[in-house]
A and B are shown apart, each in its own frame.
Chain A
């Protein structure tokens, strides 16, 4: 991708580690990341911007007597790397020892991954991305004159991660990704619909901009003439986006080992217990072919793997990084990710799901709806991030959403709220679709859950 070759990156990492260990560090770990992204932005119904972003850098964790220091730089010169390693050493010295520190990872064999890198995506020119964006845009704009394209984008990423540590880990991996998305609204008289979205997100060049444009427009039109509904305990069919938002801010937190160990999780001590409907089987698969979060190894150099989380409703495993695994006397599950505000090299690892997969059922989406007598179909949740990650309680707006009556979509629903606990939603799952789809950390079909509290008017 960039000017830097894998061996250059590994050498920068080695250099940083050598400086730190010579200074007197007990252990050291260098992480390097590079990203090159190209984006075409649609604004107010037209192609408005074309952007190229490039950034790379190195972060080094240094441990002295079990106290951890970290420093980073995006100036990749020998001098700057040396200063960064020394700075990390000093911050470790300034910090306090942590008796639970268990060391960095040791070298292991990595499995290979499939469809995580595509040369075709690297070669796509900005002209071609502009073309993809126009197809999406024109399809939506010509669908119906009540549809407005609020925003949209086509974006390609090429990125790499490198981990080197003082125990001999030397790992490099690179990946590609393409994201196309369109957000529409429909207007009729004084009525404006909520934002309706459709997207493709893939690791290889396999997208359908025409479909995105058409579906985004269709959703907006079907969100018109929305009505308020009465409050009640209803059957809810969750689309993947709504399900992702709900799980990401509640359940996925509850199975992170750090939250469990720190007594923040309602699932503490529940391994082996039934916590969800028998229909629910979930595994976290960091090696899934074409998975959006698929890498050979995690951000601490631990091999990615497939970890069972829930089997037929029974809780099997938490997600671990090196630190929490050591504390529980188990192996890391390869779930250390560098994520948050800023570039990866600026960050230290946190625990995160990879491709969190809810296994497929057998029903088509049409059949799921046909089975609902009185309920709603929900495609997006507003305010999911304000859920309580500890207790799993949520209180969110379902929008866009549609009323289902006697097995048929009846009309769009206006401003209904959903409230409850994620564990009750998982316990009351009554059907699973066969329409597997991936969005960020989730891979799942549509799911139906019974007796969800809906607050209407």
Chain B
């Protein structure tokens, strides 16, 4: 095993020092990351940003309270200061702790995770990335004269994370993220519309040979152009077929957050539902950190726990939650590898990975047949959930369903409801499957995958129509 031995020694010294200061647990995460961001706006390159971020975060547990200190440096002396700072912070909090935090045991791991993509984005010339954006931009403007504006953001992150803790785990893990977001504005007379598309991977730059700028650009452009023809929907409750992208957002926002054990314990509606039925028997939801190349995939989480595939709902029953070591201990179960930190500036918290509905056996046409008047909800703009299970998903692409057939496009739609009520109303699950990409904000940002098959719901509240 090859590794960064001098840094490993340094991290070990910091852990020793934390333990001497009275910490029952010490963890150090260090990073050396490189980032490239390119933004194009209306056929011009606004800026190319490249940079280096080094830093370390130290987390300690003293008498059951957490202390945390992060610093944008890898200087040994400053890191030593950080560990005593973290211990001081923890001691200040520990005076008020009623229920001390304890951590579930995990296996000690020593590992070096290397990523060797065909085309490492760090080695791909900047000119090539710029040309890819400009090619996509041209395709978008060539789609239609009503396309008025377009912003494309490209991001790659590469580098290495280093993890060491007082349980003698030491992990060096390469990081690689590719992310491309496209927003297109179209206008016809007074009508303004906006369409977007997001892709993201944990693979090399070669992925853009198959997921080409042509495909991405055309998708985003068509979404905005379709909306110019769309009418606003009538608000009210209707049956709906929910497309893979939106069912993913539902899995993540409406259900997933409630099943993050920290939020469950904070009082989400799932607090007393473990082992109980919360939805119709055909509902199955999984949070999976092992899908190769997907944006929410990694080998080890930021507490040194291996990522895994975690079933959350099986045949309508809650079978699991997403845990870190602290919540796993509280529930008397095993950590699921969901602890992640955006970067060295943040502490690890419970995050979703790739969260999705598993497939069923129905075809799209079969699901359409039975709907007299309803909606096909296809593409999302954003979503948000509340601990009481109220969710909202904003939609950028939707169609009416009239007498079992797809009808006119509708705009400015969103749908809302109560998560558990909606899970009970799922009455058909498609046999297709698609996984999409999002950036989730929970005080810090995380790349997450989300998806599923086309899914039919007997009734949702459609809000829209100005």
- Contact across chains for B48 and A70 when beta carbons are under 8 A apart: yes
Of chain B, the residue at the smallest CB distance from A424 is: B466
- Contact across chains for B93 and A50 when beta carbons are under 8 A apart: yes
B66 interfacial contact with A, CB 8 Å = yes
Q: In the complex the two chains form, what is the Cα distance from A84 to B193 in whole Å?
A: 40
A321-359: CB near B (< 8 Å → 1, else 0) gives 000000000000000000001110011100000000000
A386 cross-chain contacts in B, Cβ below 8 A: 380-384, 392-395, 414
Of B45, B73, B267, the contact of A96 (CB 8 Å cutoff): B45
Task: Give chain A nearest CB distance to B221 CB in angstroms.
Answer: 15
A53 cross-chain contacts in B, Cβ below 8 A: 68-71, 345
B276 interfacial contact with A, CB 8 Å = no
B54 interfacial contact with A, CB 8 Å = yes
B55 cross-chain contacts in A, Cβ below 8 A: 55, 74
- Contact across chains for B262 and A192 when beta carbons are under 8 A apart: no
A82-113: CB near B (< 8 Å → 1, else 0) gives 00100110111011101010000000000000
B99 interfacial contact with A, CB 8 Å = yes
A274 cross-chain contacts in B, Cβ below 8 A: none
A457 interfacial contact with B, CB 8 Å = yes
B235 interfacial contact with A, CB 8 Å = yes
B126 interfacial contact with A, CB 8 Å = yes
B132 interfacial contact with A, CB 8 Å = no
B72 interfacial contact with A, CB 8 Å = yes
A453 cross-chain contacts in B, Cβ below 8 A: 235, 465-466
B53 interfacial contact with A, CB 8 Å = yes
A397 interfacial contact with B, CB 8 Å = yes
Q: Quick one: given A72-B49, A95-B45, are A185 and B384 in contact (CB under 8 Å)?
A: no
A258 cross-chain contacts in B, Cβ below 8 A: 41
- Contact across chains for A415 and B390 when beta carbons are under 8 A apart: yes
Of chain B, the residue at the smallest CB distance from A187 is: B267
A208 interfacial contact with B, CB 8 Å = no
- Contact across chains for B463 and A262 when beta carbons are under 8 A apart: no
Q: In the complex the two chains form, what is the Cα distance from A382 to B149 in whole Å?
A: 28
- Contact across chains for A415 and B465 when beta carbons are under 8 A apart: no
A418 cross-chain contacts in B, Cβ below 8 A: 463
B373 interfacial contact with A, CB 8 Å = no
Of B48, B67, B71, B92, the contact of A54 (CB 8 Å cutoff): B71
Q: In the complex the two chains form, what is the Cα distance from A40 to B347 in whole Å?
A: 13
Q: In the complex the two chains form, what is the Cα distance from A194 to B391 in whole Å?
A: 10
B106 interfacial contact with A, CB 8 Å = no
Q: Which of B66, B73, B192 has the most CB of A within 10 A?
A: B192
Which DSSP category, helix, strand, loop or mixed, fits chain B's interface?
strand
A229 interfacial contact with B, CB 8 Å = no
A148 cross-chain contacts in B, Cβ below 8 A: 266-267
Of A158-166, A387-395, A438-446, the one with at least 4 CB within 8 A of chain B: A387-395
A370 cross-chain contacts in B, Cβ below 8 A: none
Of B127, B187, B465, the contact of A263 (CB 8 Å cutoff): B187
- Contact across chains for B463 and A395 when beta carbons are under 8 A apart: yes
A266 cross-chain contacts in B, Cβ below 8 A: 192
A126 interfacial contact with B, CB 8 Å = yes
Of A8-16, A41-49, A294-302, A371-379, the one with at least 4 CB within 8 A of chain B: A41-49
B265 cross-chain contacts in A, Cβ below 8 A: 44
Q: In the complex the two chains form, what is the Cα distance from A346 to B42 in whole Å?
A: 23
Of chain B, the residue at the smallest CB distance from A131 is: B96
A56 interfacial contact with B, CB 8 Å = yes
Which residues, 88 to 147 on B, are CB-close (under 8 Å) to A? 88-90, 92-93, 95-99, 101, 125-127, 130, 134
A47 cross-chain contacts in B, Cβ below 8 A: 65, 93, 96-97
A361-375: CB near B (< 8 Å → 1, else 0) gives 000000000000000
B413 interfacial contact with A, CB 8 Å = yes
Q: In the complex the two chains form, what is the Cα distance from A393 to B232 in whole Å?
A: 10
B357-401: CB near A (< 8 Å → 1, else 0) gives 000000000000000000000001111111111111111000000
A316 interfacial contact with B, CB 8 Å = no
B92 cross-chain contacts in A, Cβ below 8 A: 50, 125-127, 130
- Contact across chains for B262 and A43 when beta carbons are under 8 A apart: yes
Q: In the complex the two chains form, what is the Cα distance from A414 to B462 in whole Å?
A: 15
- Contact across chains for B388 and A193 when beta carbons are under 8 A apart: yes
Q: In the complex the two chains form, what is the Cα distance from A419 to B236 in whole Å?
A: 12
B381 cross-chain contacts in A, Cβ below 8 A: 386, 388
B134 cross-chain contacts in A, Cβ below 8 A: 96
B418 interfacial contact with A, CB 8 Å = yes
B388 cross-chain contacts in A, Cβ below 8 A: 185, 192-195
Of B42, B70, B385, B461, the contact of A455 (CB 8 Å cutoff): B461
Question: Interface size (A, Cβ < 8 Å)?
Answer: 91
A433 interfacial contact with B, CB 8 Å = no
- Contact across chains for A94 and B127 when beta carbons are under 8 A apart: yes
Q: Quick one: given A195-B387, A383-B414, A399-B386, are A91 and B126 in contact (CB under 8 Å)?
A: yes
Q: In the complex the two chains form, what is the Cα distance from A457 to B96 in whole Å?
A: 45
Q: In the complex the two chains form, what is the Cα distance from A67 to B47 in whole Å?
A: 8
- Contact across chains for B49 and A457 when beta carbons are under 8 A apart: no
- Contact across chains for A95 and B266 when beta carbons are under 8 A apart: no
- Contact across chains for B89 and A52 when beta carbons are under 8 A apart: yes
Of A73, A264, A385, A397, the contact of B149 (CB 8 Å cutoff): A264
Question: Interface size (B, Cβ < 8 Å)?
Answer: 93
B46-89: CB near A (< 8 Å → 1, else 0) gives 11111111110000000001111111110000000000011011
Q: In the complex the two chains form, what is the Cα distance from A269 to B394 in whole Å?
A: 29
Task: Give chain B nearest CB distance to A202 CB in angstroms.
Answer: 20
Q: In the complex the two chains form, what is the Cα distance from A95 to B88 in whole Å?
A: 48
B269 interfacial contact with A, CB 8 Å = yes
- Contact across chains for B130 and A43 when beta carbons are under 8 A apart: no
Q: In the complex the two chains form, what is the Cα distance from A52 to B413 in whole Å?
A: 42
Q: In the complex the two chains form, what is the Cα distance from A49 to B125 in whole Å?
A: 43
Q: Quick one: given A46-B98, A70-B49, A415-B416, are A54 and B70 in contact (CB under 8 Å)?
A: yes
- Contact across chains for A75 and B48 when beta carbons are under 8 A apart: no
- Contact across chains for B65 and A48 when beta carbons are under 8 A apart: yes
A190-231: CB near B (< 8 Å → 1, else 0) gives 001111000000000000000000000000000000000001
Q: In the complex the two chains form, what is the Cα distance from A73 to B50 in whole Å?
A: 9
Q: In the complex the two chains form, what is the Cα distance from A309 to B134 in whole Å?
A: 35
- Contact across chains for B267 and A396 when beta carbons are under 8 A apart: no
Q: In the complex the two chains form, what is the Cα distance from A426 to B25 in whole Å?
A: 54
B251 interfacial contact with A, CB 8 Å = no
- Contact across chains for A262 and B51 when beta carbons are under 8 A apart: no
- Contact across chains for B149 and A262 when beta carbons are under 8 A apart: yes
Of chain A, the residue at the smallest CB distance from B418 is: A415
- Contact across chains for A417 and B463 when beta carbons are under 8 A apart: yes
Of chain A, the residue at the smallest CB distance from B53 is: A74
Of chain B, the residue at the smallest CB distance from A88 is: B50
Of chain B, the residue at the smallest CB distance from A263 is: B148
Of chain B, the residue at the smallest CB distance from A226 is: B388
Q: In the complex the two chains form, what is the Cα distance from A52 to B78 in whole Å?
A: 13
A84 cross-chain contacts in B, Cβ below 8 A: 51-52
Q: Quick one: given A96-B45, A130-B93, A382-B390, are A55 and B70 in contact (CB under 8 Å)?
A: yes
Q: Which of A88, A90, A151, A417 has the most CB of B within 10 A?
A: A417
- Contact across chains for A48 and B93 when beta carbons are under 8 A apart: yes
Q: In the complex the two chains form, what is the Cα distance from A391 to B73 in whole Å?
A: 44
Task: Give chain B nearest CB distance to A140 CB in angstroms.
Answer: 13
Q: In the complex the two chains form, what is the Cα distance from A92 to B192 in whole Å?
A: 34
List 20 contacting pairs A-B, 8 Å CB cutoff, sorted by A: A44-B266, A50-B89, A54-B70, A55-B70, A55-B345, A74-B54, A90-B126, A94-B125, A187-B267, A195-B386, A195-B387, A382-B390, A382-B416, A383-B414, A388-B194, A393-B411, A396-B463, A414-B390, A417-B392, A419-B235
Given contacts A54-B72, A80-B52, A390-B193, 13 further A-B contacts (CB under 8 A): A44-B265, A51-B68, A53-B68, A56-B72, A94-B126, A94-B130, A130-B95, A192-B389, A383-B416, A397-B416, A414-B390, A415-B418, A420-B466
Sort A-B residue pairs by CB-CB distance and give the 3 closest, nearest first: A386-B394, A417-B463, A386-B382
Residues on A close to B: CB < 8 A? Answer: 40, 43-44, 46-57, 59, 61, 67-75, 80, 84, 87-88, 90-92, 94-96, 98, 100, 125-127, 130, 133-134, 148, 150-151, 185, 187, 192-195, 231, 258, 262-264, 266, 341-343, 346-348, 382-383, 385-391, 393-397, 399, 414-415, 417-421, 424, 453, 455, 457
